[in-house]
């Protein structure tokens, strides 16, 4: 058989194998675009000055054959020239810091030149070669060179040791993939298929095979997680993909994905998967500061990281938070950085959306410029990606923050002080011209140009900072400027630039991404296929426009596998949450509906409100007029920490002695991604249509889409609101055994515009009033009692935890 060829660039090879030293807060951050452009221009200038015998940008390549593979190392030498019959390899680097501080070349820079030296030496059968490091100071254009002569035997051994060390990694990876693929040959779906589940599995596999994108609306309880992961894993085994990215917005659904991979491993699958946990949750230190003087895990991190990664990678298959923390502690390395390094060698990666899409934190190892791979993207809860996308691809800058930074730097840099004054003045002019609390602009004007100069100046100062106090005081603003400039490069017809005055009086300019589809698509195009799936992806056409720019996307609607008889869906047509109707009479009617729902059957209920204010007002009326000794009430609080959330959910145990009413907020932490199965929750009331509060960005969205001939109100208000309603209602029926009631409490649900957004499984909805709701609920619970007394013969086995999303 023909041996596989593994390709790697000279730069990536030496930066991976020979990295050493400390981890710092700026380690791994890309140089700003201005410095990169300046460095490239300086490269070309030096190359032109070297004369006609100087060969610039010389492509070089060498293949090294091993027992099981061929390693191909390639790149471009900055320059090659001959002097006194001696060939010299020239490696050029542009830097901001003083050349006097360089006592010797940076080792990874020198290693690049050595690689080019050996490749050229062997190709031309030379006995010795010169290596030259040319450093240029980007501001002064001062040049300093380091030059040495290397003999053939010494350079050959150095290069062989380098490639042998890398071969150790790629050889194991090759052997692992053969073992992985062999384990998939007889892998079957781990459960009996539910209704609709086989169709979803087939749809996902077909989309991956066609290298296409598919949008799947699948009801709660279908087993979406396993139905997406299983066909993706099988596709990897058949060479249709190489890395599965399971992307989600919430921690709990990341756990469900981990469980799904674990279930498949229990059926014989060999598959390495990792969960990327946020840096702040991984850091060993109380103060998350990557300062080697303060953090022992940052000190010498790069001296130990490769050994730590290789040992763990070759020993385990599942890499969760606890496993990684233990290895990081053992080798005294940063746990977050070891996670990122391990991810490169994984078959499956479970992570938040931002590691693929966010321009500031995406995984550059996978999604850097011009990098593509055989990636399969499984996007869970895809409805969340619209607002998350808008957030990730928007940026703002505050005038008051510029002014406070300006005051801080005055004692350190008069040049930066003047530059910041110019930026503050530009925003001050816009503030004076603004006639309302927010105003749309044609563009950002000259502010980005000013900020580009500011960033360049901050870069120079941070190369050799006057003090640690200066670094600490400027770093947050530095990143804010960097983020703004990164987004400024993306601004196009999908953006609206506006200025606004916040409630606290701060004035800011924002680059607002109103349609994130184009930015998201650029990221997705780095892979081969994407599966968007959710229980609330309606209307499908809207989400396809917001999440993708492709016209050939597949769409799929998976029918509910559950019996309609086990759910009572009532539309309360004599109540409203409209602002014009809010007052004691309406609050009392809502409270009475809640009471009447809970009177018909003892159990646990959740009531979802569009805001904390309405929840508190109704709760107060309920307590005064409808409270009972046999009913306990708990209320969601704003900004609950993890312990408080767990305590809240712990109250929803299986059927207790009392009825429990949980008052919650739509779109909050309890309306999505939680599973209260069986008797833990038997009813949900949704108060209102979930329409977001009127604000400048919602109004900007409305006007933007109205101008494009799209239904602006729907895009800005109705669709996001209805999504919250569907998510809240979806808390009550989670498995085939669940039984429960759903009250939709707003007369607006009677309107055609809302009824068209109901999922198919809501076709049995009935209407009620305050006078008839108890009779409807009584009939339902009596029918349920009759069903239970008849037994449930012939029911299919329930899928294990991890099958449901």
pLDDT tens column, 132-176: 999 988 878 889 999 999 999 999 999 999 999 999 999 999 999
Segments in 651-772 forming alpha helices (H) = 696-707, 712-713, 719-729, 752-755
Residue percentage of the chain with pLDDT more than 90: 76
> Angle CA(286)–CA(288)–CA(289) in degrees, nearest 5?
120
pLDDT of residue 736: 73
Cα(300)–Cα(693) distance, integer angstroms: 51
Q: Does domain 397-512 have CATH number 1.10.275?
A: yes
pLDDT of residue 647: 94
Cα(672)–Cα(675) distance, integer angstroms: 9
pLDDT (tens digit per residue) in 619-644: 999 999 999 999 999 999 998 988 99
pLDDT of residue 783: 92
Q: State the chain's mean pLDDT as an integer.
A: 91
Secondary structure (H, E, C), 635-651:
ECCCCCCHHHHHHHHHC
pLDDT of residue 799: 59
Q: Is the pLDDT of residue 32 over 60?
A: no
Q: What's the CATH number for 564-790? A: 3.40.50.300
Q: Is the pLDDT of residue 805 over 70?
A: no
3-state secondary structure of 448: helix
Give this prediction's pTM. 0.90
Secondary structure (H, E, C), 137-161:
ECCCCCEEEEEEEEEHHHHHHHHHH
pLDDT band at 53 (very low <50, low <70, confident <90, very high): confident
> Which residues make beta-bridge pairs with 743?
570, 685
pLDDT of residue 804: 41
**Lowest-confidence pick of 246-260, 360-374, 493-507, 741-755:** 360-374
**What is the average pLDDT across 410-433?**
95
Q: What's the CATH number for 188-271+351-393+516-560? A: 3.40.50.300
Same fold, 5-171 and 564-790: no
Token pair of 57 as six digits: 């940008």
Exposure pattern of 545-581 as b/e (b: 16+ CB <10 Å)? Answer: bbbbbeeebbbbbbebbbeeebbbbbbbbebbbeeee
How is the chain split into domains, by residue range?
5-171, 188-271+351-393+516-560, 277-346, 397-512, 564-790
Alpha-carbon torsion, ordered 241, 243, 244, 248, to 10 deg: -140
Segments in 50-189 forming alpha helices (H) = 107-123, 152-184
CATH class, 5-171 region: alpha beta
pLDDT (tens digit per residue) in 527-563: 999 999 999 999 999 999 999 999 889 999 998 877 8
Q: Is the pLDDT of residue 519 over 90?
A: yes
**What is the average pLDDT across 466-489?**
92
Give the DSSP per-residue string, 571-621. EETT----GGG-SHHHHHHHHHHHHHHHHSS-SEEEEEESSHHHHHHHHHH
pLDDT of residue 31: 41
pLDDT (tens digit per residue) in 736-771: 778 999 999 999 999 999 999 999 989 999 999 999
pLDDT (tens digit per residue) in 170-192: 999 999 999 999 999 999 999 99
pLDDT band at 803 (very low <50, low <70, confident <90, very high): very low
pLDDT of residue 38: 63
**Lowest-confidence pick of 288-297, 354-363, 401-410, 687-696:** 288-297
* E strand map for 249-389: 273-275, 318-319, 348-352, 375-379
Backbone angles phi, psi at 693, to 5 degrees: -65, 150
Name the DSSP class of 749.
Answer: G
pLDDT (tens digit per residue) in 676-702: 888 899 999 999 999 999 999 999 999
Q: Is the pLDDT of residue 345 over 90?
A: yes
Q: Is the pLDDT of residue 400 over 90?
A: yes
pLDDT of residue 94: 85
Q: Is the pLDDT of residue 506 over 90?
A: yes
pLDDT of residue 172: 97
**Lowest-confidence pick of 366-370, 425-429, 492-496, 583-587:** 366-370
Cα(384)–Cα(250) distance, integer angstroms: 10
Whether omega for the bond prior to residue 539 falls within 30 degrees of 0, making it cis, is yes
């Amino acid at each position: 058989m023909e041996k596989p060829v593994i390709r790697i660039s000279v730069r990536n090879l030496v930066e991976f194998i020979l990295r050493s030293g400390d981890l710092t807060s700026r380690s791994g951050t890309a140089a700003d675009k201005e410095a990169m452009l300046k460095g490239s221009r300086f490269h070309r200038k030096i190359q032109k000055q070297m004369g006609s015998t100087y060969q610039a940008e010389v492509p070089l390549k060498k293949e090294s054959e091993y027992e099981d593979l061929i390693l191909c190392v390639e790149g471009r030498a900055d320059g090659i020239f001959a002097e006194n019959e001696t060939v010299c390899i020239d490696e050029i680097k542009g830097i901001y810091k003083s050349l006097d501080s360089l006592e010797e070349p940076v080792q990874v820079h020198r290693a690049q030149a050595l690689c080019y030296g050996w490749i050229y030496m062997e190709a031309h059968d030379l006995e010795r070669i010169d290596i030259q490091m040319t450093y240029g100071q980007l501001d002064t254009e001062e040049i300093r060179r380091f030059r040495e002569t290397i003999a053939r035997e010494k350079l050959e051994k150095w290069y062989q040791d380098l490639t042998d060390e890398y071969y150790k990694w790629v050889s194991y990876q090759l052997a692992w993939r053969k073992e992985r693929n062999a384990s998939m040959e007889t892998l079957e779906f781990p459960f009996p298929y539910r209704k609709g589940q086989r169709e979803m599995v087939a749809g996902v596999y077909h989309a991956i095979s066609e290298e296409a994108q598919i949008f799947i609306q699948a009801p709660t309880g279908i087993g979406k997680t396993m139905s997406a992961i299983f066909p993706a894993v099988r596709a990897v085994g058949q060479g249709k993909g190489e890395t599965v990215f399971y992307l989600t917005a919430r921690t709990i659904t990341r756990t469900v994905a981990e469980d799904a991979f674990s279930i498949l491993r229990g059926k014989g699958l060999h598959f390495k998967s990792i969960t990327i946990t946020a840096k702040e949750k991984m850091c060993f230190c109380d103060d998350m500061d990557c300062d080697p003087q303060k953090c022992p895990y940052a000190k010498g991190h790069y001296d130990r990281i490769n050994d730590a990664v290789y040992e763990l990678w070759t020993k385990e298959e599942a890499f969760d938070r606890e496993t990684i923390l233990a290895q990081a502690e053992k080798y005294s390395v940063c746990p977050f950085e070891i996670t990122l390094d391990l991810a490169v060698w994984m078959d499956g990666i479970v992570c938040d959306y931002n590691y693929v899409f966010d321009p500031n934190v995406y995984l550059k190892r996978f999604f850097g410029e011009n990098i593509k791979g055989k990636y399969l993207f499984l996007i869970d809860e895809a409805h969340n990606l619209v607002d998350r996308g808008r957030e990730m691809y928007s940026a703002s800058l505050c005038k008051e923050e510029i002014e406070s930074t300006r005051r801080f730097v005055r004692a350190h840099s008069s040049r930066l002080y003047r530059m910041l004054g110019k930026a503050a003045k530009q925003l001050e002019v816009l503030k004076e011209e603004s006639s309302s609390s927010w105003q749309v602009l044609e563009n950002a004007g000259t502010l980005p140009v000013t900020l580009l100069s500011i960033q360049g100046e901050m870069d120079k100062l941070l190369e050799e900072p006057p003090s640690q106090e200066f670094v600490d005081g400027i770093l947050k603003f530095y990143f804010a400027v960097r983020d703004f400039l990164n987004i400024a490069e993306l601004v196009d017809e999908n953006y609206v630039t506006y200025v606004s005055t916040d409630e606290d009086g701060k004035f800011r300019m924002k680059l607002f991404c109103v349609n994130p589809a184009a930015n998201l698509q650029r990221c997705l195009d780095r892979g081969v296929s994407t599966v968007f799936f959710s229980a609330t992806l309606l209307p499908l056409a809207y989400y396809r426009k917001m999440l993708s720019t492709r016209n050939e996307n597949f769409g799929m609607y998976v029918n509910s596998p559950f019996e309609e008889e086990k759910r009572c869906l009532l539309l309360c047509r004599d109540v409203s949450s409209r602002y014009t109707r809010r007052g004691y009479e309406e609050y009392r009617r809502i409270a009475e509906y809640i009471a009447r729902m809970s009177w018909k059957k003892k159990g646990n209920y959740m009531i979802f409100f569009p805001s904390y204010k309405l929840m508190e007002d109704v709760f107060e009326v309920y307590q005064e007029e409808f409270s009972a000794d046999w009913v306990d009430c708990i209320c969601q609080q704003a900004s609950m920490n993890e312990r408080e959330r767990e305590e809240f959910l712990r109250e929803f145990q299986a059927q207790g002695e009392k009825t429990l009413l949980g008052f919650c907020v739509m779109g909050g932490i309890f309306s999505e991604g939680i599973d209260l199965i069986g008797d833990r929750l038997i009813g949900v009331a949704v108060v209102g249509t979930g329409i977001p509060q009127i604000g400048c960005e919602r109004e900007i969205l409305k006007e933007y889409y109205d101008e494009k001939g799209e239904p602006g109100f729907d895009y800005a208000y109705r669709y996001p609101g209805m999504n919250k309603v569907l998510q809240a209602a979806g808390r009550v029926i989670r498995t085939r055994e669940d039984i429960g009631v759903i009250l939709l409490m707003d007369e607006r649900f009677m309107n055609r515009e809302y009824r068209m957004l109901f999922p198919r499984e809501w076709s049995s909805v009935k209407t009620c009033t305050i006078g008839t709701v108890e009779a409807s609920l009584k009939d339902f619970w009596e029918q349920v009692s009759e069903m239970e007394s008849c037994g449930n013969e012939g029911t299919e086995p329930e899928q294990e935890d991890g099958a449901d999303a």
